[in-house]
Amino acid sequence: MKQIMATRFMHWKKQWVSIIFWLLFPILATTGITAITETLQDDTKVPVGIVMEEQTAASEELVQDIKSTPFIRAEILSENQSLHDLEKHELDSVFVIHEGFEENVQRDHRDRLITSFQSDLSFAYSAVKEMILSYVQQETGRSKAAFVVQELEQQHNGNTGWTYEEITAKSKEIQQDENLLDTAFSFDDTVMEANQTPPLFPIWGLWSICTLLSTMLVFDWVIKEKRSKAILRLAFSRWSLKSYLLQNFMLYSVVLFLVDLVTVSIFLFMFGEWISVVSLIVYRLFINMAAFLFAHLFRNTLLYYTVSFALVLIVGISSGAVLPAASIDSPAWFDFVNPLAPLLSGEYVNLWSVMIMVLAVFWLVRKERFHA
C-alpha cells in the first residue's frame, strides 16, 4: 500500500488543481447555491418598517418574532424615516410599537398597542398586519394567563410563589417543546402525518448531488490510467492491475471520506445542519463503488463526463434531493434505485446499493486481461 500511495501522490502532484477543485466542489457549490438562494429570497421578502418607541423585553421580542418570519424583511427605523420610505413605496407598511407596549401587554390592555400605516401600493399589508396581530395576541394571552395563574394561586393559598416572569417563561418553554402549531399537508389523496418532518434539509440534498457529480469526475483516473499503455507494465510488477486499481480506489475513498468529515463540520458550523455519519460513510462508499465501476465501461473521458453530467441531472431532478419529489410524478420503484434515497431518508442501503455490491463482486472475481 505504501508503494501504491507513493505512485498515487505522483499522479496527484501533476493534477493537484483539478483534484482540489473537485474535492472541494460539493462544499463550494452547496454553500454558494445556498448563499445565492438566501440572497434572492431576501430580495423577494416584503419590506416592513418597525418603529420602536420603547426598548423593552416585550417589544424586542415582538420585533424578533417579526424578523424571524420567512416572508418579511423588517427594518428598525425612526417614525419620520419609515413614513418617508412608505411614501416613496420603499416599504410595504410601517408598524409603530408605542411606548407602554410591555406594560399594556402585561395588563391585558389591547387597545392602541401598535399603529400601522400602509400606502396605496401596499400589497401585503393585510397579511403582515394579521401576522403581527397574532404575535401580539399570543403575548397578551400569555400575559393574561400568567395573571390568572397568580390569582388562582392566591385564592387557593398556594405557596409556590411563582412570579409573572417565571410563568411566562414556562409558557414559552412549553410552546416550543410541544410545537403547538402543527400543519398537515396532503398530496393526491396521500396523507402525510402532521408530525412527519422532511427526511433531511435541502443542504444535504444539494450536497449529495454535487458529491455524486464530483465523485464521478474524480474517478476519471480509472479511464485515463486503464487506457494508458503504461498500465501494461503492471503485468511485470508486484501488483496486478486489479490490485493496483483496488488499492487506489481505497486511497481515493479515504481522501474523499476525510473531505466529507470536513464538510460535516463546515455545514454544522455554517448552517447548523447535522447528518448521520454512518449514513454518510455508506453513501460515500456506494457512490465511490458506482463511479469506479461505471468508469470501467468507458475508454473516452469526454463521453464519460457527458454521461456523468446527464445521469447526475436525472438523479438530481427525480430524487427529491433538492426539488420536492412528491410534486413530480416519479414512479414508486424509483426510490428503490435512487442512489440518494438511503442518505436522504437516514437509512443505509436500498436496491441500488445491493446492485452496486453485486457488480463489485462480479468485477472482483472477473479475470483481468492485458492488451499490449
Q: Which residue ranges make up the site for another protein (CB under 8 A)?
A: 3-4, 6-7, 10, 14, 228-239, 244, 370, 372
In the complex, the smallest distance separating the C-beta of residue 279 from another protein, rounded to whole angstroms, is 36
For residue 264, what are the contacts with CB-CB under 8 A and spacing of at least 6? 274, 275, 277, 280
Q: Which is nearer to another protein, 170 or 233 (CB)?
A: 233
Q: Which is nearer to another protein, 13 or 88 (CB)?
A: 13
Say if residue 49 is exposed, middle or buried (CB neighbours under 10 Å; 0-12, 13-18, 19+): buried
Q: Which is nearer to another protein, 148 or 235 (CB)?
A: 235
In the complex, the smallest distance separating the C-beta of residue 6 from another protein, rounded to whole angstroms, is 5
Q: Which is nearer to another protein, 91 or 223 (CB)?
A: 223
Q: Which of 38, 20, 24 shows the shortest CA–CA distance to 263?
A: 24
Residues 196, 331: contact at Cβ < 8 Å?
A: no
Residue 89 φ/ψ, nearest 5 degrees: 60, 25
Q: Which is nearer to another protein, 88 or 371 (CB)?
A: 371
In the complex, the smallest distance separating the C-beta of residue 13 from another protein, rounded to whole angstroms, is 8
In the complex, the smallest distance separating the C-beta of residue 235 from another protein, rounded to whole angstroms, is 6
Q: Which is nearer to another protein, 228 or 265 (CB)?
A: 228
In the complex, the smallest distance separating the C-beta of residue 33 from another protein, rounded to whole angstroms, is 33
In the complex, the smallest distance separating the C-beta of residue 300 from another protein, rounded to whole angstroms, is 17
Q: Which is nearer to another protein, 156 or 229 (CB)?
A: 229
In the complex, the smallest distance separating the C-beta of residue 244 from another protein, rounded to whole angstroms, is 8
CA-atom Rg of the chain in angstroms: 29
In the complex, the smallest distance separating the C-beta of residue 228 from another protein, rounded to whole angstroms, is 7
Distance in angstroms (rounded) separating the CA atoms of residues 83 and 95 = 10
Q: Which is nearer to another protein, 22 or 283 (CB)?
A: 22
Q: Output helix, strand, coil percentages for the chain, rounded to the nearest 5.
A: 65, 5, 30
Q: Which of 230, 224, 232 shows the shortest CA–CA distance to 369?
A: 232
Distance in angstroms (rounded) separating the CA atoms of residues 19 and 217 = 10
In the complex, the smallest distance separating the C-beta of residue 361 from another protein, rounded to whole angstroms, is 24
Q: Which of 269, 342, 351, 216 shows the shortest CA–CA distance to 27?
A: 269
Burial 52-72 (b: 16+ CB within 10 A, else e): beeebebbeebbebbeebeeb
DSSP 190-253: EEPPTT---SS-HHHHHHHHHHHHHHHHHTTHHHHHHHSGGGGGGGGSSS-HHHHHHHHHHHHH
Q: Which of 100, 104, 115, 45 shows the shortest CA–CA distance to 75?
A: 45
Q: Which is nearer to another protein, 4 or 146 (CB)?
A: 4
Please list the residues that pair with 46 across neighbouring strands.
72
